């Protein structure tokens, strides 16, 4: 059910966070956002793996079957990493006092930076097991992440959480539970920058300029782009209540965690070089098997 608040300059759509209530089971927009992000990322990654024109010597380092298998790894990395990141980076004292709250995921509490670490760990494990080049796998995953970021920020907006700072801009909104002051809809800023704009930038880099042929570049571009977007939006977003502002009254935890992303991103882009897969016998063997399977299917 959607109702509209009459407060503020723009009406805030009060969308019920539960989109389907079966009595014994409630399905929430937040959970649907994770499903949509992973599903879209998987389909996009699958199309990338199946497009030889994007890769050196027209040899993709990943088969479509391997892309299917990777979904389980990345899902576990996102959920476990995101939850642990929230516990360690944002609300450690609360979870220390009530350890069982760590498992009550329906109460909220996920960290992008924690999820990122979880995904990186999942990628290393997957690449070791499936003999896929790590840097190329990181590039593929990076190109797909904006889907999850977009849907996740839309879910934050629906839940009326992570709202922005008070403002008098014409598009300000009054969020339930945030007091009477109109505020920046910072969740929508992040959806636009981290989701839509970053996806477009990555798409141009990969499909127009062929940057998958330079391992590390796409991953570096994602890290730098996300870090820059997150730091920019943090100036318009209220910090977590339990943390507040850090160091001088303007720095936030989101900024602190994003600064290393800028540094690593610049390193990735700066040291990316063209790399041929034609000399890697593992990849050549996998491609030959995939082509043979396709002929006999």
CA separation for the pair 15, 214 (Å, rounded): 44
How many alpha carbons lie under 13 Å from residue 247 in its C-beta half-sphere?
6
| Binding residue ranges | 153
What are the phi and psi torsion angles at 27 (to 5°)? Answer: -105, 125
Kindly give, in sequence order, each residue whose CB lies less than 8 Å from that of residue 178, ignoring residues fewer than 6 positions away: 160, 163, 238
Q: Return the residue matching tokens 């079957």.
A: 65
């Amino acid at each position: 059910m959607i109702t509209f608040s009459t407060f503020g300059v723009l009406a805030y759509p009060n969308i019920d966070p539960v989109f389907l209530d079966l009595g014994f089971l409630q399905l929430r927009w937040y959970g649907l956002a994770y499903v949509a992000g992973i599903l879209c990322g998987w389909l996009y990654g699958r199309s990338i793996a199946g497009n030889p024109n994007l890769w050196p010597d027209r040899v993709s380092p990943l088969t479509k079957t391997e892309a299917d298998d990777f979904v389980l790894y990345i899902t576990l990395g996102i959920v476990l990493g995101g939850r642990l990141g929230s516990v360690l980076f944002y609300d450690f004292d609360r979870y220390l006092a009530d350890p069982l709250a760590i498992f009550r995921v329906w109460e909220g509490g996920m960290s992008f930076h924690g999820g990122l670490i979880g995904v990186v760990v999942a990628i290393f494990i997957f690449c070791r097991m499936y003999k896929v080049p790590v840097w190329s796998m990181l590039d593929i995953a990076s190109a797909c992440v904006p889907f999850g970021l977009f849907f996740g920020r839309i879910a934050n907006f629906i839940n009326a959480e992570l709202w922005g700072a008070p403002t008098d801009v014409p598009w300000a909104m009054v969020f339930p539970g945030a007091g009477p002051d109109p505020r920046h809809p910072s969740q929508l800023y992040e959806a636009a920058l981290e989701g839509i704009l970053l996806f477009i930038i990555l798409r141009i880099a990969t499909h127009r300029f062929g940057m998958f042929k330079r391992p590390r570049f796409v991953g570096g571009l994602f890290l730098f782009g996300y870090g820059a977007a997150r730091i920019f939006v943090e100036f318009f977003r209220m910090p977590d209540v339990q943390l507040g502002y850090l160091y001088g009254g303007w720095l936030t935890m989101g900024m602190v965690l994003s600064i290393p992303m800028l540094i690593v991103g610049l390193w990735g882009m700066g040291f990316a070089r063209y790399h041929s897969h034609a000399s890697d016998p593992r990849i050549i063997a996998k491609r030959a098997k995939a082509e043979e399977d396709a002929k006999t299917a």
